[in-house]
Amino acid sequence: MDKLVIEGGVPLTGVIPVSGSKNAALPILFASILMDEPVTFTNVPDLRDIHTTIRLLTMLGCACEFSNGTVVMTPGALKPEAPYDLVRTMRASVLCLGPLLARLGEATVALPGGCAIGARPVDQHLKGLEKMGASFDLNAGNIIGRCRRLTGAHISFDMPTVGGTENLLMAAALADGETILENAAREPEIVDLANFLNACGARISGQGTSCIRIQGVSRLGGTTYAIMPDRIEAGTFLVAAGITDGELLVKDCPWDALEAVIRKLQSMGMHLERTPEGVLARRAGRTLNAVDIQTRPYPGFPTDMQAQIMALMCLAEDTSMVEESIFENRFMHVSELMRMGANIKLSGRSAMVHGVRQLTGAPVMASDLRASASLVLAGLAARGTTHVRRIYHLDRGYENIEHKLNAVGARIRREQE
């Protein structure tokens, strides 16, 4: 296993590029199961989860070639089974369920286990697909789904679920008749998925609102589609500028998709300026202010930025409050930040972050993707050396992160643990 060794204390300065969005690319790649013509995707990030998805799609009969950020998918004879040994490494594999049922009328997908941040059930996915005519059995850890032909339905989610909305959106694109998704998730990645499907001939409207309407069509053709920039990676780099007291131009940073994060960083005392190339980020003054955040479905503050902004809060004046309302166990970065001198009190889904003057480098352990990013950010600011172990978590969602950060002044090297 690899670790990152970070010599902290250097203000980062320069231009840092943002890769294509992992959380847009994953559903869009799975949507290629719906296509009966080749499709080409550009601006695809070179990440572990992307390569896992490509392996899975190829096993399902959608041969994918990845080369230098471009993926070409050539459709072939589809198979209905997604094997456990791939699904268990990536929860997003459940996104092949809707497309396989829409194309084949059957699907066998290993029930994705929970993960570090929570149980992460898929009941909303199954309930919605049942309303469209599918039936499911659970056998030996596999979800076995069948349907004669999916038909449009009026579906209302119990809570806004990103994956649930994506699965149903893809299933409805080829179903008979109209589907309405109420209380749908509004994330920009869902808009990107809907825009891709419409570029292939789907008839979707309302994406980005909580009510999405889909008129099923009989087939979906090929296209060439560029994946949107990764707003969470971009937000992570905005925090990197603030936590190291440097100045970064975060290239292709999607300002509108990060509004809630930008407002909070400005309240903390960061100067964020929209430019034609992206967003210029630096501290407005010498110190950082405490703020309170509650994670919420989009357009609220994204749970995927909670660990990163908490690292910044560790160096703010006074006390910040963090409420994690989406996942039940997304504070694993807290104990590791405390090993670096942070002063944080946990109580259920809330964390009280008392600012300290300085963090100190230490050996720490990554536990999930965004917790890893939080520890890297803390290591960049800390006095001394930080060893972030188990960074395979980080490699799931950040493309070449040490190269990107070293290019703007960081001192990071990747070593064998």
Smallest distance, Å, CB 230 to ligand EPZ? 9
Tokens 């979707």: give the residue.
Answer: 204
- 191/326 with CB nearer ligand EPZ: 326
- 23/52 with CB nearer ligand EPZ: 23
Annotation marks residue 115 as catalytic: yes
Which 8-state DSSP code applies to residue 112? P
- 162/316 with CB nearer ligand EPZ: 162
Smallest distance, Å, CB 355 to ligand EPZ? 25
Residues in the chain: 417
Smallest distance, Å, CB 53 to ligand EPZ? 10
Smallest distance, Å, CB 30 to ligand EPZ? 10
List the 292-294 sheet strands across, edge first. Answer: 292-294, 319-323, 350-354, 343-347
Q: Which of 62, 96, 115, 200 is catalytic?
A: 115
List CB contacts of 261: < 8 A, sequence separation 6 or more.
Answer: 235, 238, 301, 302, 305, 309
> Which residue has the closest beta carbon to ligand EPZ?
163
Q: What is the C-alpha separation between 153 and 23, in angstroms, rounded? A: 26
Question: Rule CB under 6 A: which residues touch ligand EPZ?
Answer: 23, 26, 92, 118, 120-125, 159, 161-164, 185, 303-304, 326-327, 369-370, 397
Q: What is the C-alpha separation between 3 and 26, in angstroms, rounded? A: 26
Q: Per DSSP, what are the bridge partners of residue 224?
A: 40
Smallest distance, Å, CB 22 to ligand EPZ? 6
Q: Confirm if 40 and 65 have CB atoms less than 8 A apart.
A: no
- 84/327 with CB nearer ligand EPZ: 327
Q: Confirm if 206 and 213 have CB atoms less than 8 A apart.
A: yes
Which 8-state DSSP code applies to residue 135? E
Smallest distance, Å, CB 123 to ligand EPZ? 5
Tokens 């970070």: give the residue.
Answer: 6
How far is residue 311 CA from its own chain's centroid? 19
- 9/299 with CB nearer ligand EPZ: 299
**How many CA within 13 A on the CB side of residue 170?**
30
Which is it for strands 247-251 and 106-110: parallel, antiparallel or unpaired? unpaired
- 383/390 with CB nearer ligand EPZ: 390
Nearest to 310 by CA among 328, 288, 327: 288
List CB contacts of 127: < 8 A, sequence separation 6 or more.
Answer: 155
Report, as residue numbers or ranges, the catalytic residues: 115
